[in-house]
Chains A and B, each alone.
Chain A
Amino acid sequence: MKQSPFEHRYQAEWVRFDEHLGLLEKRRPLASPEDIKRFAANYRRLCQHLALAQARGYSPGLVDRLRQLTLRGHQQLYRHRGNPGQRLIRFLLTDFPQLVREEWRAVAAASLLFYGSLLVMGVLIYYVPDLVYSLLDPAQVADMESMYAPDAKRIGALPERASSQDWQMFGYYIRHNIGIAFQTFAGGLLYGLGSLFFLLFNGMTIGAVAGYLTQLGSGVTFWPFVIGHGAFELTAITLAGAAGLKLGAALVAPGRQRRSEALRLAARRCVGLVIGVTILLVLAAFTEAYWSSSAALSVWIKYSVGALLWLAVGAYFICLGRDSHASDR
């Protein structure tokens, strides 16, 4: 068959398929249920027409038009859709804790780096307070001292902070903390060096602040303040670091794959970690802005709630998603 009769015979089909695609691309439903049922069959038929047009050497213009149509059909047919709410719930209840357990190597490495540097720096500065000036500049140290002075009414911010500022702090925590976590993750693309740096740097800074304030006697305000949201925040930073280290490991030691392929596979697994980290940090920002900063509650309530939150986070990652149904994804 020559080109003109071919076009003449199938033109009407192509035009109709083009109209259907136009509707789907604007996220509108197709007119009749019959059209929806026939969509895949119509698409396959179009593929056949394209193959014929190529094999018979029809004009490049026609081949291009058919190819564009096929491409658009391909994009409508092969896409990953699901109920987002359902996916989120399943992610929180099974997929995320499972993923963290499966990646325990990276998580352990990141924890070691982060909590290790935190502890070492904290203990060092507790005994040699002047070391704090090697990490923080004097103005920051002075700010910190006034923030956590034992006689402050509301803690964790500048002394004059009032309750109306909780909102302000919430926004600030979201922007600042999630930004840090994202950077810690993305740094992994530099062969893991960026994640390594952010894990150590944040661990050392937090350790320095904790050690310095404790030896100063401000521990009574500092520890009740941080223990609550620390459960979410420190876990989140560690997991972000773990995801980054995983990216780095894929680049440093890709195994029997090409580097780009290893990177792509590692990155796909890291997305889950990063989404989980974001959720944890939103929780942390809420706790930090509305719970941790209140000075009205007694210290012991804060300690016990804080301990409960740590236990809850631990239990969440250890226990959830272990039942038999959880594995069929």
Chain B
Amino acid sequence: MSAPFPLDTLYRVETPESIDLALRPASLLPRALAYAIDLAIRGVILGAAYGVLSFFGALGVGLIALLTFLVSWWYMVLFEVLAQGRSPGKRYMKLRVLHDDGTPVGWSASLLRNLLRVIDLLPFGYTLGILSSLLHPAFKRLGDLAAGTLVVHDETPQPAAAPLDVIPLTPPFLLNLADQQAILAFSERRETLTSARREELASLLTEPLGTDSRDASTRLDRIARGLMGSTS
């Protein structure tokens, strides 16, 4: 399973059950957008607090300082640990923080990656963090490297498509596993491909299928139906 997508950024984690889990690390742009959202939320929180607490004199000033401390150093940590690895910005961008081994991020790792954020900020505007995440195959910034964490896309799988109502066909040539999966995927994705694109893809196989390009996609669907088998 490791070879078929050589250009993919999939990050594979082997579990104790010898299953390969594939995680999709999030790159710079979605992470930057999530951070911008979090920054705005923190700005609003602090702005509102300044507005209210400034009426309370010295006590208010003390509380503002405490709140500033909490919001600037602990906002991310609390959300990441208590909300399944997602701060509000990450939730909006459908991102999630995990340990390298695919388990949910814990207190110590989250604390580390967020404390070390000040280094990623250096010398200005996240320069080190941006360089590091552009150079790393799993887009890790320095804090992620030290804490052993990973920011991944939260994927929601497509619901299963109803089986096609066509007459099954035995493939006219021998299929290996990769071919078989490619044909099944072609049939499964019929809702998301335009018919022109489907015909274009299917026309690659006109010769082995022994038919013209218009008929090729229907034939592939029938072969896929045959591969799926029947439920009865």
Could you list which residues of chain A lie within 8 angstroms of chain B, going by C-beta atoms? 1-5, 7-8, 25, 43-44, 47, 50-51, 54, 56-62, 64-65, 67-68, 70-71, 74-75, 78-80, 162, 164-165, 167-172, 174-175, 178-179, 182-183, 185-187, 189-190, 194, 247, 260, 263-264, 267-268, 270-272, 274-275
Cβ-closest 4 pairs across A and B: A2-B229, A171-B65, A171-B62, A59-B184
| Among B1, B103, B145, B180, contact of A79 (Cβ-Cβ < 8 Å) | B103
* A316 CA to B231 CA, complexed, in Å: 70
Contact B188–A189 (Cβ < 8 Å) = no
Contact B111–A271 (Cβ < 8 Å) = yes
Q: Does B7 contact A (CB under 8 A)?
A: no
* A38 CA to B64 CA, complexed, in Å: 49
New contact pairs (4) apart from A57-B180, A62-B160, A70-B15, CB-CB < 8 Å: A47-B17, A59-B185, A68-B155, A172-B65
Could you list which residues of chain B lie within 8 angstroms of chain A, going by C-beta atoms? 1, 15-19, 21-23, 57-59, 61-66, 68-69, 73, 84, 98, 101-104, 106, 108, 111-112, 115-119, 122, 142, 145-148, 155-158, 160-161, 163, 177-178, 180-181, 184-185, 187-188, 224, 227-231
* A169 CA to B178 CA, complexed, in Å: 67
* A179 CA to B65 CA, complexed, in Å: 11
* Chain B proximity of A162: nearest CB distance (Å): 8
Chain B residue, CB-CB nearest to A259: B145
Chain B residue, CB-CB nearest to A11: B160
Q: Which residues of A contact B69 (CB under 8 A)?
A: 171, 174-175, 178-179
24 CB contacts below 8 A, A to B, read A4-B228, A4-B229, A5-B230, A47-B15, A59-B181, A65-B158, A67-B22, A68-B156, A68-B157, A70-B21, A74-B15, A164-B59, A167-B58, A168-B61, A169-B62, A171-B61, A171-B65, A182-B118, A183-B118, A186-B117, A194-B119, A263-B146, A264-B146, A267-B112
Chain B residue, CB-CB nearest to A263: B146
* A242 CA to B224 CA, complexed, in Å: 63
Contact B160–A187 (Cβ < 8 Å) = no
Contact A175–B57 (Cβ < 8 Å) = no
Contact B19–A80 (Cβ < 8 Å) = no
| Among A7, A51, A170, contact of B19 (Cβ-Cβ < 8 Å) | A51
* Chain A proximity of B83: nearest CB distance (Å): 10
Chain B residue, CB-CB nearest to A174: B69
Contact A175–B66 (Cβ < 8 Å) = yes
* A68 CA to B112 CA, complexed, in Å: 28
Q: Which residues of B contact A8 (CB under 8 A)?
A: 231
Q: Which residues of B contact A57 (CB under 8 A)?
A: 177-178, 180-181, 184
Q: Which residues of B contact A164 (CB under 8 A)?
A: 57-59
* A47 CA to B19 CA, complexed, in Å: 7
Q: Which residues of B contact A190 (CB under 8 A)?
A: 119, 122
Contact A175–B65 (Cβ < 8 Å) = yes
Contact B106–A80 (Cβ < 8 Å) = yes
Most A C-beta atoms less than 10 A away, residue of B101, B115, B145, B229: B115
* Chain A proximity of B96: nearest CB distance (Å): 9
Most B C-beta atoms less than 10 A away, residue of A1, A171, A182, A247: A171
* Chain A proximity of B76: nearest CB distance (Å): 13
Q: Which residues of A contact B62 (CB under 8 A)?
A: 167-172
* A8 CA to B45 CA, complexed, in Å: 51
Q: Which residues of A contact B177 (CB under 8 A)?
A: 56-57
Q: Which residues of B contact A270 (CB under 8 A)?
A: 112
Contact B145–A263 (Cβ < 8 Å) = yes
Most A C-beta atoms less than 10 A away, residue of B1, B73, B112: B112
* Chain B proximity of A299: nearest CB distance (Å): 27
Q: Which residues of B contact A167 (CB under 8 A)?
A: 58-59, 62-63
Q: A4-B229, A51-B18, A171-B64 are known contacts. Are A75 and B104 too (CB-CB below 8 A)?
A: yes
Contact B228–A2 (Cβ < 8 Å) = yes
* A323 CA to B87 CA, complexed, in Å: 41
* A269 CA to B95 CA, complexed, in Å: 27
* A266 CA to B162 CA, complexed, in Å: 52
Q: Which residues of A contact B119 (CB under 8 A)?
A: 186-187, 189-190, 194
Contact B115–A186 (Cβ < 8 Å) = yes
* A16 CA to B192 CA, complexed, in Å: 28
| Among B18, B157, B184, contact of A65 (Cβ-Cβ < 8 Å) | B157
Q: Which residues of A contact B18 (CB under 8 A)?
A: 47, 51
* A78 CA to B142 CA, complexed, in Å: 25
Q: Which residues of B contact A60 (CB under 8 A)?
A: 181, 184-185, 188
* Chain B proximity of A59: nearest CB distance (Å): 3
Q: A4-B163, A47-B15 are known contacts. Are A268 and B108 too (CB-CB below 8 A)?
A: yes
* A79 CA to B82 CA, complexed, in Å: 13
Contact B188–A61 (Cβ < 8 Å) = yes
Q: Which residues of B contact A47 (CB under 8 A)?
A: 15, 17-19
Q: Which residues of A contact B112 (CB under 8 A)?
A: 267-268, 270-271, 274
Q: Which residues of A contact B106 (CB under 8 A)?
A: 79-80
Q: Which residues of B contact A247 (CB under 8 A)?
A: 146
